[in-house]
Structure 1
Amino acid sequence: MPEDNPSSWWNPERHAERRPVLLARNRITSAVRAWFDARGFVEVETPALQVSPGNEAHLHAFATEALSLSGERATLYLRTSPEFTAKKLLAAGEARTFELARVWRNRERGALHHPEFTLLEWYRAGEAYETLMADCASLLAVAAQAAGAQALRFRDMTIDPQAEPERVTLAEAFDRFAGIDLLETVQADGATDRDGLAAAAKGKGIRTASDDTWADVFSRVLVEKVEPGLGRERATILCEYPVSEAALARPKATDPRVAERFELYACGVELANCFGELTDATEQRRRFEVEMAEKQRVYGERYPLDEEFLAALARMPPASGGALGLDRLVMLATGASRIEQVLWAPVAEG
């Protein structure tokens, strides 16, 4: 008979240590549901199996195979987000939806990453994406209250969950933390100047390679220089991403170089990604094809497009939507240092 491993999550002593955090997770989940219910949102359930798992170049899915009764085979994917189906529901006539969705992402495992996790996604038809900024601030407070926490914590950082988040644009953040004029390298039509950004980054001591794209350099500056300074004294809303870094978001009306996209950071942790949703199917298809071409170049594979999703965009009303990592929110509300600590049953390591 195999022997018990004291470090296994199901070991009774180990489970007893983790159980208070897991019960706090349940309270947070219940409080989040109540918050959305009180505001007229409908909780929905969308399928985990999809014809397309998403069309972002650096997002990796788990694939499976569906067999018909006649033996025909079709590739399906575990969703990386419920986004495509949620937007189809907006096209169908739903105005406010939310889902606590189990999602799967391959090539992801670490203190803040797990191959299977829970995304809170919510959508508001006919409402500005700035409304989601207020939603995010409220959800931080809701989670802390449900967990009985006076502060959100991760490692050596703490913030007040009741404090109003600061708003910082990408251009302001690149200037503040890296001394780089980001928008000088973005044209009015969204085209980017790779060499210009690479030269600016190199001048600030950031490593670049000859085959780096503009997006590669952007990501490196963001990770090395910008993100460490976010959400340290209070939560940060990092907004107005360049349009090339916001494949599902609409351009900002007052500056077409940037999009209606923001990310929420707390204690240095990225918690949420929110958009003013793009509803131009032709432009969305073009962006997806660019992303899949890049995925093919870097990883030698691509995912199919969801043609029904693109068709639904023609009927989808103007809307805003957000995705928040529930597990990470629970981590901050309970002070956990690794995501496995807040999961009832973590996926076994291969």
Structure 2
Amino acid sequence: MARYAPFWAPEHHEARRPRLLARARIVRALRGFFESEGFVEIEPAALQVSPGNETHISGFATSFEPLGGAPTPYYLHSSPEFDCKKLLAAGERRIVSFAHVFRNGERTRLHHPEFTMLEWYRAAAPYRALIEDCAAVLRLAAEAAGVSEFRFGESRLDPFAAPEILPVAEAFARHAGLDLAAALDDRDALAREAARLGLRVSADDHWSDLFSKIVSEKIEPCLGHGRATVLIDYPVSEAALARRKPEDPRFAERFELYACGVELANAFGELTDPAEQRRRFEADMAERARIYGSAFPIDEDFLAALAFMPEASGIALGLDRLVMLATGADHIEDVLWAPVAAPKAVAS
């Protein structure tokens, strides 16, 4: 049946239902895990004064219009991160959220304008502690789905195997033959390397643009085959909400989890310096204005809360993608109970 058939069409629902039931079992298993670990499940507000301040994430804009009053602009959140960190500042220590989040302009095989973000935080825990959580999440998803391997396209993965931990710099050397440390903050050097790799380089590409091209074209497709990969310790310019590594401040306490070549999660040793966070937000919004011609407001309440936030580590995991891999689904809409209506077929 065509992708744009309504999800409620009985024959369409019947074909999707086994994966949806597996999704329900996975969610139930994950809730049990976090409860056993002493986490409190919280409920963030979807309406925020800012959708977030990452350069390449677009938000959905709306407004609150009180009777007889002036409208107040709001955005649907792209992540529960700001509310989660505010609750850490309030005194919570282990929190988890299964939040519907919203990102404009994203609808592909792996993207949907509304999806579920599984996000959790551990106060007073190093960011590498979250790697153990990720291993547990993969194992529990497989057990709940009743499978012994994850699948996506031609790739296979053992969800019970310990993840590979791969520093970003080592990944660049292994998969791109590139000395990343020698090219840090050197736009021209990275441009030459990107051209050597056969990538298109534009005159207006900044260092981060080139880094992203190399990661997406040469690094990501090689990750998470056979077992999951934890791509760890990003250049600090590529980790807007993460603190610097004390032993090497050129890099940040950030990792991403990959499975079957698919990015599943993004983790930080959380930045708690309001002044540094403001500087990074402003830089990212200037970059967004350069690329897209628009920027989003900064949540001043969030910056105020950072001054009270304890040291913590946090991670955001795409629940729908996890279910896709555990059920062998080819498209994200195969594992969503109620996909957002589309007037025509969605591009893969």
TM over 0.5: yes
Runs of 4+ in 1 over 3 A off after TM superposition: none
Q: Which residue of 2 aligns with 1:19?
A: 17
Give the TM-score of the pair, scaled to structure 1: 0.96
Uncovered stretches (5+) of structure 1, i.e. residues with no partner: 187-191
Q: Which residue of 1 aligns with 2:346?
A: none
- The answer to whether the aligner puts 1:140 opposite 2:133 as a matched pair is no
Task: Specify the code of the residue in structure 2 equivalent to 1:279.
Answer: T
**CA deviation after TM superposition for structure 1 residue 184, in Å:** 1.0
Question: Among residues 168, 182, 189, which one is paired with 1:170 in the alignment?
Answer: 168
Q: Which residue of 2 aligns with 1:161?
A: 159
Task: Specify the code of the residue in structure 2 equivalent to 1:92.
Answer: A
The whole-number CA distance in structure 1 between the counterparts of 2:152 and 2:91 is: 40
Q: Which residue of 2 aligns with 1:118?
A: 116
Q: Which residue of 2 aligns with 1:276?
A: 269
Q: Which residue of 2 aligns with 1:189?
A: none
Task: Specify the code of the residue in structure 2 equivalent to 1:244.
Answer: S
**CA deviation after TM superposition for structure 1 residue 6, in Å:** 9.2
SS in 2 for 1:36: helix
Map 1:5-44; keep pairs closer than 5 Å: 7-44=5-42
Question: Among residues 236, 239, 248, which one is paired with 1:246 in the alignment?
Answer: 239
Question: Among residues 89, 92, 97, which one is paired with 1:91 in the alignment?
Answer: 89
Give the TM-score of the pair, scaled to structure 2: 0.97
Q: Which residue of 2 aligns with 1:338?
A: 331
What is the percentage of aligned positions where both structures have the same residue?
60
**CA deviation after TM superposition for structure 1 residue 7, in Å:** 3.0
The answer to whether the 8 A contact 1:65-1:76 is kept is yes
Q: Which residue of 2 aligns with 1:301?
A: 294
The answer to whether the 8 A contact 1:180-1:201 is kept is no
The whole-number CA distance in structure 2 between the counterparts of 1:144 and 1:203 is: 40
SS in 2 for 1:100: strand
Report the number of matched residues: 342
Q: Which residue of 2 aligns with 1:77?
A: 75
Task: Specify the code of the residue in structure 2 equivalent to 1:27.
Answer: R
Task: Specify the code of the residue in structure 2 equivalent to 1:235.
Answer: A
Task: Specify the code of the residue in structure 1 equivalent to 2:306.
Answer: L
The whole-number CA distance in structure 1 between the counterparts of 2:30 and 2:323 is: 11
Task: Specify the code of the residue in structure 2 equivalent to 1:210.
Answer: A
SS in 1 for 2:5: coil
Task: Specify the code of the residue in structure 2 equivalent to 1:302.
Answer: A
Q: Deviations over 1:78-97 (max 9, x none)?
A: 00000001000000000000
Residue 92 to residue 6, structure 1, CA distance change in 2 (3 Å): closer
Q: Which residue of 1 aligns with 2:318?
A: 325
The whole-number CA distance in structure 1 between the counterparts of 2:82 and 2:126 is: 20
**CA deviation after TM superposition for structure 1 residue 199, in Å:** 1.1
- The answer to whether the aligner puts 1:234 opposite 2:227 as a matched pair is yes
The answer to whether the 8 A contact 2:34-2:96 is kept is yes
Q: Which residue of 1 aligns with 2:45?
A: 47
